[in-house]
């Protein structure tokens, strides 16, 4: 029986999938059978370990044990417990990562502490195409400080290396550019900044979980990231902060919440920060979100991130090459070289929003980034080469039938 469904045949990709040593990991996720999930990983898929963990927390711990669960079921320790599970994914030794708050809040803490260590002298340097919340947090610190005491400089990507000089106190960068997918050389830029006397803060939201990260080996000072992208912790999952051991007790983070106190249940009227990484806690942890993230992190046990990274690069190259061979009217925005690209491939098109929405209607979930970017996120633990081949076939259908030009795609949804 003939069919025009692109799912029907994919011989080249099937051969690649047969060689895929990560193929079995797909079974560890709850995935819709009729969809191809290529979102830019603003929300990773749900591991099948999560529902049972939440059900236990709801029905046994919360319902039956109530307040006793903070002690009896380890709720109070979850920020540390989860932080220690994230640490190996970052190349961090124990005692340097804690799960707490959001990426934005943790970034503000890191910026404030880094500037304290630097004596509030020198500038914060970032690039113009950094993720907006990172820029907002740095600008907020500048605006909140006494006038002229914090200088915040933003430069174009191509001017970044020349801008790292002796006037810079803190270098703030996202490891992977959320629009283009361009991957910074973490080791080189950290070393350059250190030679100039600067401290470095990395946002790892688009790289943690899909590639090896060696924060300790590269003497990174601070790092932050979220739990809901490649860590698959669920919508609004808490973030994390890495603070190198050598910096942890050198300054007080600016948000003095009771959970960061040395003795929170003494209820002292005077703040005394906890030693080490615990001082980076603020308020009461969101237990349901933490439980979901904790369960999701089981996916990474015994997983070689070098293998994950290789598949990510292979998937990206396959997608890029198929679109180029197809002659589709999309212009590659991401780097050609997989070594300098994160786990996404982005293209530009003047009707990018309509293209993405038409693809979603056909069952291929990508995402749009303003002003004109079609972004495909690649999760090596769930995406197959057949997914890629079928997605490109559906993309061809969109253009053949001008589906992206339909009037209903003129009004944008609140979340794109």
- Residue 182: count of CB within 10 angstroms of its CB: 20
Q: How far apart are CA 348 and CA 370, in angstroms?
A: 10
The active-site residue out of 280, 375, 387, 409 is: 375
Give the DSSP letter of residue 273. B
CA 155 to chain centre: 23
Known catalytic residue at 131: yes
Which of 160, 159, 180 is CA-nearest to residue 172? 160
Give the DSSP letter of residue 199. E
Q: Where are the alpha helices (DSSP H) in 91-179?
A: 103-117, 132-144, 160-163
Which of 39, 11, 35, 53 is CA-nearest to residue 298? 53
Q: Over the range 36-73, which residues count as b (16 or more CB within 10 Å of their CB) and which as e?
A: bbbbbbbbbbbbebbeebbeebeeebbeeeeeebbeeb
The active-site residue out of 29, 108, 131, 385 is: 131
Known catalytic residue at 192: no
The CA-to-CA distance between both ends of the chain, in Å, stands at 38
Cβ burial, residue 76 (10 Å; 0-12/13-18/19+): middle
The active-site residue out of 101, 134, 203, 314 is: 203
φ/ψ of 328, rounded to 5, equals -65, 145
User: 368: which strand partners?
Assistant: 374
The active-site residue out of 229, 309, 341, 390 is: 229
- Residue 324's alpha-carbon distances to 115, 380, 392, in angstroms, are 46, 22, 10
Q: How far apart are CA 310 and CA 320, in angstroms?
A: 15
Beta strands in 268-340 (DSSP E): 331-332
Known catalytic residue at 270: no
Strands 97-99, 240-243: pairing is antiparallel
The active-site residue out of 29, 108, 228, 368 is: 228
Do 257 and 44 meet the contact criterion of CB atoms below 8 Å apart?
no
Q: How far apart are CA 305 and CA 212, in angstroms?
A: 5
User: 373: which strand partners?
Assistant: 348, 369
Query: What is the full DSSP assignment across 124-138?
Result: EEEETTS-HHHHHHH
Residues with catalytic roles:
131, 203, 228-229, 375
């Amino acid at each position: 029986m003939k069919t025009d469904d692109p799912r029907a045949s994919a011989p080249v990709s099937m051969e690649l999938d047969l060689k895929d040593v990560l193929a079995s990991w797909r079974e560890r996720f709850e995935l819709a059978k009729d969809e191809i999930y290529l979102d830019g990983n603003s929300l990773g898929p749900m591991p099948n370990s999560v529902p049972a963990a939440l059900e236990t927390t709801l029905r046994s711990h919360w319902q039956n044990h109530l307040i006793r669960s903070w002690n009896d079921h380890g709720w109070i320790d979850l920020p540390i417990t989860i932080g220690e599970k994230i640490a190996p994914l970052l190349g961090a030794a124990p005692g340097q990562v804690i799960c707490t708050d959001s990426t934005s809040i943790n970034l503000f803490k890191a910026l404030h502490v880094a500037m304290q260590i630097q004596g509030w002298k020198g500038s914060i340097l970032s690039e113009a195409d950094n993720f907006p919340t990172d820029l907002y947090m740095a600008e907020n610190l500048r605006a909140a400080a006494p006038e002229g005491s914090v200088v915040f400089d933003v430069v174009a990507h191509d001017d970044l290396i020349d801008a790292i000089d002796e006037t810079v106190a803190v270098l703030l960068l996202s490891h992977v550019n959320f629009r283009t997918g361009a991957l910074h050389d973490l080791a080189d830029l950290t070393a350059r900044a250190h030679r100039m006397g600067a401290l470095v803060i990395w946002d790892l939201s688009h790289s943690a979980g899909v590639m090896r990260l060696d924060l300790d080996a590269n003497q990174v000072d601070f790092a932050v990231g979220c739990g809901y992208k490649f860590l698959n912790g669920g919508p609004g999952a808490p973030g994390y902060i890495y603070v190198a051991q050598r910096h942890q007790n050198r300054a007080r983070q600016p948000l003095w919440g009771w959970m960061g106190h040395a003795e929170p249940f003494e209820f002292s009227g005077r703040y005394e920060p906890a030693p080490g990484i615990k001082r980076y806690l603020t308020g009461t942890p969101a237990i349901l979100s933490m439980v979901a993230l904790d369960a999701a992190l089981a996916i990474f046990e015994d997983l070689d991130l070098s293998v994950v990274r290789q598949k990510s690069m292979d998937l990206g190259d396959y997608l890029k090459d198929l679109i180029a061979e197809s002659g589709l009217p999309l212009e590659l925005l991401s780097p050609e070289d997989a070594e300098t690209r994160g786990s996404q491939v982005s293209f530009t098109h003047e009707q990018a929003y309509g293209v993405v929405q038409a693809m979603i209607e056909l069952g291929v979930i990508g995402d749009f980034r303003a002003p004109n970017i079609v972004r495909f996120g690649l999760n090596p633990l769930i995406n197959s080469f057949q997914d890629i081949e079928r997605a490109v076939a559906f993309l061809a259908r969109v253009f053949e039938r001008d589906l992206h030009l339909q009037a209903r795609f003129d009004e944008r949804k609140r979340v794109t």
